[in-house]
Structure 1
Amino acid sequence: MNAPAVQNTLALVGRLLLAYLFLPSGLAKIGGFAGTVGMVASKGLPMPELATALVIAVEILGGLALVLGWGTRWASLALALFTLVAGLLYHNWWAMPQEAQMLQKIIFDEHLAVIGGLLVLAAFGPGAYSVEGRRGTVQPR
């Protein structure tokens, strides 16, 4: 396999793995809407129903954009911002009892790693094996 083919294959696999984090989560929130609204409300966020609907939209639409490689840079940035906010709100290990800190710090650190992957995807684009690649709109590296 030549270098561009390897890069494009890895970009595709990376997009699919990142989407795997968001798509199933967004779909599960539809089925568990009331529970998700309760969790959002427990953090004191205003309009928890609207916030939950927005979260679902970001996860599903952003995940689909990654799968397709369409609007990838914007979707990656939106998902990175969402992941940062979710990490700060729900995995704020520094404000938790000592016995809960280790697990929550690990989850928070994983959020940071996902954000890193999304930022790389935003920087370098989806690769040739994408809607953008087929349209010839992938910016050169």
Structure 2
Amino acid sequence: MTSTSKIANGTSTLDTAFTNASSTIALIGRVLLAAMFVLAGIDKITGFEGTAGYIASVGLPFAELLTVVTIAVEIGAGLALIVGFQARIAALLLAGFTLAASVLFHNFWAMPAEQAYIQQLMFMKNLSVAGGLLMIVALGGGALGISKGK
């Protein structure tokens, strides 16, 4: 057996293992992606006034209404993603929310130098999270969920 065929066989074995575990891996991925949204939504309930003030500080109107909508999206879509209920729709909603929040609240390009680095890290983290969510939109949420892969 040549080293090339060993690599090919090893890759094939690894691919088989990943395929066999794909439903479990997808569930873990959904839970990990959704956890930050659910926890953030709960924090926004307990810090409602502070959240509304932060939203207002960037010039958005109807800060209290937007706070309620934000809480509903983070908790509602986050829980839907965890249990696999319409996972693609929940992931799309959270991806759009994350991208909008990134531009509005982590606009590092408009920050003073001492704040820009941290805001750029937050912005890039959010882009990565949105990318993971868009993978769920494209590929589905896996077989372990209420909507079975949808």
TM-score with structure 2 length normalisation? 0.86
| Cα deviation 1:15-34 (Å, max 9, x = unaligned) | 00011110000011011101
Partners of 1:123 and 1:18 in 2: CA distance: 15
User: Unaligned regions of 5+ residues in structure 1, if any?
Assistant: none
Partners of 2:51 and 2:18 in 1: CA distance: 44
- Following superposition, the deviation at residue 12 of structure 1 comes to 0.4
Pairing 1:24–2:39 present: yes
Pairing 1:86–2:101 present: yes
Partners of 2:89 and 2:112 in 1: CA distance: 37
- Following superposition, the deviation at residue 3 of structure 1 comes to 4.4
User: Unaligned regions of 5+ residues in structure 2, if any?
Assistant: 1-15
Match of 1:34 among 36, 44, 49: 49
SS state of the match for residue 99, structure 2?
A: helix
SS state of the match for residue 64, structure 1?
A: helix
Q: What corresponds to 2:3 in structure 1?
A: none
Partner AA of 1:42 in structure 2: S
SS state of the match for residue 40, structure 1?
A: helix
**Equivalenced residues, count:** 135
Partners of 1:2 and 1:100 in 2: CA distance: 44
Q: What corresponds to 1:57 in structure 2?
A: 72
- Following superposition, the deviation at residue 2 of structure 1 comes to 4.8
- Following superposition, the deviation at residue 83 of structure 1 comes to 0.3
Partner AA of 1:33 in structure 2: F
SS state of the match for residue 126, structure 2?
A: helix
Partners of 2:137 and 2:38 in 1: CA distance: 18
TM-score with structure 1 length normalisation? 0.91
Partners of 2:50 and 2:20 in 1: CA distance: 44
| Cα deviation 1:79-128 (Å, max 9, x = unaligned) | 00100111111110000011111111111000000000000011111111
Partners of 1:4 and 1:109 in 2: CA distance: 30
- Supply the RMSD in Å over aligned alpha carbons: 1.3
Q: What corresponds to 1:119 in structure 2?
A: 134
Partners of 1:34 and 1:112 in 2: CA distance: 27
SS state of the match for residue 21, structure 2?
A: helix
Partners of 1:75 and 1:129 in 2: CA distance: 15
Q: What corresponds to 1:8 in structure 2?
A: 23
**Larger Rg belongs to:** 2
Partner AA of 2:24 in structure 1: T
